[in-house]
Amino acid sequence: MNTIAVNQLSTIRWELGEDAQAYAAHGFQGIGLFRPKVEDFGIERCVELLTELNLSVTSLSWAGGFTGSDGRGFDDAVRDAMGAVTDAANLRAQTLIVLAGGRNNHIQKHARRTLCEALAKISIVAEEFGVRLSLEPFHPGCGSEWSFIHDLESTLNILDCVGSPNLGLVLDTYHVGMDDEILGWLPHVCEHLHLLQLGDGRHSPLGEMNRCLLGEGCVPIESIVHSLLEQGYQGPIEAEVIGEDVEPLAYEQVLDHTREYLDQFTGSQV
């Protein structure tokens, strides 16, 4: 049974209480939490509300930036990530999403070594708290400042380097789904997959993320989802719909469309 959820970035202008009430009203079973919204709302209040609404936390976004691309030093980024692990445990989040950080003028080998060192440190704490970490690759066209890890092969190499049982990955179809070889990579990915995020776009990412309504772009979402389900993926499926193409739409309309789209090929799973 795959938990069907929405990431809070999809309703970025709402506060957490509005998000949770609307997601539950639309029949979603989970919510992907965004740390700034959680901080504004309060963790204890958040736990109480989600328990009342019977919403599970499919993810907490995000920790990372270990290369200094966001202005923080390595130690500060690691400390923040360890705090995020504690928050994820308190929220009973199914995974904490991790972004590597941009290359930030480092050579690739140094950036990779820095990321592996950070993940090794954080994984120890994550294992103690029973929190799963998920490294997310970002498309270089819209995420070079967020991550120097851009594809599934590089992500799997990092997982192999760190070797923690608590470390896996996020597959966001917006970032990696337009790769012509995506379906061939899925058998290698499935056993490490903690979270499947669904995003669609009308063209390859360039500049800011600009997702469209699910099913209205060029990402082969249905093929990806069906392939992973056939291979036994039982983790959460979380929609993330944000960008200029959907900004004019009311959030209720976005949620209605998202739920209807997911029901097309996951209705038998939920």
pLDDT of 93-128, one tens digit each?
999 999 998 877 767 888 999 999 999 999 999 999
Q: What pLDDT does 265 receive?
A: 66
CA dist list (Å): 111 to 104, 144, 163: 8, 13, 18
Helices (H) and strands (E) in the chain, counts: 11, 8
- According to the model, what pLDDT value does residue 48 have? 98
Distance CA(144)–CA(166), nearest Å, equals 26
pLDDT range class, residue 267, cuts 50, 70, 90: low
In the structure encoding, which two tokens stand for residue 64, read together? 């990372």
Please, where are the H alpha helices in the chain? 16-25, 35-41, 43-53, 74-91, 108-129, 140-143, 152-162, 173-176, 182-189, 221-230, 251-266
| Residue that has been written with the tokens 């992973």 in this structure | 228
How far apart (Å, rounded) are the C-alpha atoms in residues 175 and 138? 5
- pLDDT mean across residues, the chain: 94
Show me where the domains of the chain are located: 4-266
Q: How confident is the model at residue 270 (pLDDT cuts 50, 70, 90)?
A: very low
pLDDT band for position 180 (cuts 50, 70, 90): very high
Q: What is the pLDDT of residue 269?
A: 43
Q: Across-strand partners of 6?
A: 31, 239
What pLDDT score does 47 carry? 98
pTM of the model: 0.94
- Would you say domain 4-266 falls under CATH 3.20.20.150? yes
DSSP per-residue string spanning 241-269: --STTTTTS-HHHHHHHHHHHHHHHHTTT
Most confident of 13-27, 60-74, 195-209: 13-27
